[in-house]
Amino acid sequence: MKSYEVGQFATHAVKHRTLDVHKLREDFPILRQHINGKPLVYLDNAATSQKPKIVIERLRRFYAEQNANIHRGLYQLSEIATEAYERARVTVQQFIGAASSKEIIFTRGATEAINLVAQTFGRQRLSAGDEVLVTYLEHHSNIVPWQLLCEEKGAILRAVPINDAGELLLTDYERLLNQRTRMLAITHVSNALGTINPLKFIIELAKRQNIPVLVDGAQGVPHLPVNVSDLACDFYVFSGHKLFGPTGTGVLYGKADLLEGMPPYQGGGDMILSVSFEKTIFNHLPYKFEAGTPNIAGVIGLATAISYIEGIGLEQISAHEQELLTYATGRLGEIKGLRLIGTARDKAAVLSFTLAGIHPHDIGTVLDQEGIAIRAGHHCAQPIMQHFGIPASARASLAFYNTKEEVDALVAGLYKVITLFR
């Protein structure tokens, strides 16, 4: 069995042109406001991202000028709305490198997309004694659906452990893959630590044993270029609201042959070809999985957000965020008593930390008085907290519109926290 060196799969760094961040910030109206009399410093992007004017305006224009239900109407407004909605599907397909737009299913978010796969594809595959493999880095949304299914089927949920840098123990991962493994569900980027998993290597090992792979990309697509065809994953999911798009939107990518063999997740309008009391014939892909009236405006807004991000360039975004991460890591390292949780060599711009003797909730409360928005808690990743022996952490998560000046504001705020509580 091979041993793997920490960081040997770190490959995301790129050459880039410098972003004009201050100009880009003008695209985000919310960043101009004050909170508690202080300029807003928004550092909770792993929870949700802010929305550019172009997305906000697209939502307004849809409701003001194009609002109609899709796929059903023979009138012009319906045709306009349908065209925009289906054009959004192509935008997503091209954004993540899927082979066909019929492999793109719109959902309410990554959570619903994972549940869809678990309750259809997973339910078909799992029997008593089988195993589903996840990792200690997962968000609860990529643990609980599989846990529920395993409990129902008498299957076993296993988790790949991590080291104290917050990186997967790849030798343990290889050992856990076996003939009983029916599914691997793994995050692309940890929401709590920022760890970037070496997906190509991980997926390649799973494929050697014909194990299907679902990737939770909610934290991946806002920060890294993604090509699902190149990754060779079977499913990839993400949420629109973390990608500078509207809330209540999400995407499930699935290989067409797998989606064809999966039963519908929900029944209702638009996912059928015909209905009688004797038999229902279901619609073709992708509509088989899109029951009822979808979030039409939200999906169109998501496509607008993707086009906006592509105009900036994900490689440039990633490089700027890496520069910010390096700067912020250095600045936080100056603070006595601060413990950085998660120090993976390959990570996104997420900084989880604790301050000795001060509860993370108190950190978050004091920083809010300074206009600084961070997250404090377990980040829906309690197994990670358990590994590090803490109940919670404070988390600052950065996006391309954040600046070194905002990092400095965070550090100044943390010194104020220390002054108040020590």
380 among known catalytic residues: yes
Q: Is the dihedral of CA 121, 124, 125, 128 positive or negative?
A: positive
> Is 9 a residue whose pLDDT tops 80?
no
Confidence of residue 17 (pLDDT cuts 50, 70, 90): low
Percent of the chain surpassing pLDDT 90: 94
**Domains plus CATH for the chain?**
21-52+313-421 (3.90.1150.10), 55-311 (3.40.640.10)
Predicted structure pTM score: 0.94
Question: What six digits make up the tokens of 102?
Answer: 């019929």
C-alpha–C-alpha distance, residues 146 and 167, integer Å: 22
Query: Using H for helix, E for strand and C for coil, what is the string for the chain?
Result: CCCCCCCCCCCCCCCCCCCCHHHHHCCCHHHHCEECCEECEECECCCCCCCCHHHHHHHHHHHHHHCCCCCCCCCHHHHHHHHHHHHHHHHHHHHHCCCCHHHEEEECCHHHHHHHHHHHHHHHHCCCCCEEEEECCCCHHHCHHHHHHHHHHCCEEEEECECCCCCECHHHHHHHCCCCEEEEEEECECCCCCEECCHHHHHHHHHHCCCCEEEECCCCCCCCCCCHHHHCCCEEEEECHHHCCCCCCEEEEECHHHHHHCCCCCCCCCCEEEECCCCEEECCCCHHHCCCCCCHHHHHHHHHHHHHHHHHCHHHHHHHHHHHHHHHHHHHCCCCCEEEECCCCCECCEEEEEECCECHHHHHHHHHHCCEECEEECCCCHHHHHHHCCCCEEEEECCCCCCHHHHHHHHHHHHHHHHHHC
Confidence of residue 14 (pLDDT cuts 50, 70, 90): very low
Share the mean pLDDT of the chain. 95
> What does the pLDDT look like over 214-242, one tens digit per residue?
999 999 999 999 999 999 999 999 999 99
- Residue whose C-alpha is closest to residue 373's, from 5, 13, 96, 33: 33
Q: What is the pLDDT of residue 168?
A: 98
> What does the pLDDT look like over 374-389, one tens digit per residue?
999 999 999 999 999 9
- Residue whose C-alpha is closest to residue 213's, from 171, 150, 166, 258: 258
Q: What are phi and psi of 34, to 5 degrees?
A: -110, 145
> What does the pLDDT look like over 162-204, one tens digit per residue?
999 999 999 999 999 999 999 999 999 999 999 999 999 999 9
> What does the pLDDT look like over 143-152, one tens digit per residue?
999 999 999 9
> Is 4 a residue whose pLDDT tops 60?
no
Lowest mean pLDDT among 2-11, 81-90, 275-284, 380-389: 2-11
- Residue whose C-alpha is closest to residue 195's, from 385, 10, 56: 10
> Is 73 a residue whose pLDDT tops 90?
no
Lowest mean pLDDT among 11-15, 191-195, 393-397, 405-409: 11-15
Each as own residue / partner, the long-range contacts of residues 94-98 (CB below 8 Å, 24 or more positions apart, any chain) are 95/221, 95/226, 95/306, 95/310, 96/221, 96/226, 96/227, 96/228, 96/236, 96/251, 96/253, 97/226, 97/227, 97/228, 97/229, 97/230, 98/228, 98/229, 98/253
Name the active-site residue from 148, 291, 380, 411.
380
Q: Name residue 238's beta-bridge partners.
A: 251
Q: What is the pLDDT of residue 72?
A: 81
Residue at 121: amino acid letter: F
Q: What is the mean pLDDT of residues 20-35?
A: 97
Q: What is the pLDDT of residue 18?
A: 79
> What does the pLDDT look like over 89-141, one tens digit per residue?
999 999 999 999 999 999 999 999 999 999 999 999 999 999 999 999 999 99
Confidence of residue 77 (pLDDT cuts 50, 70, 90): very high
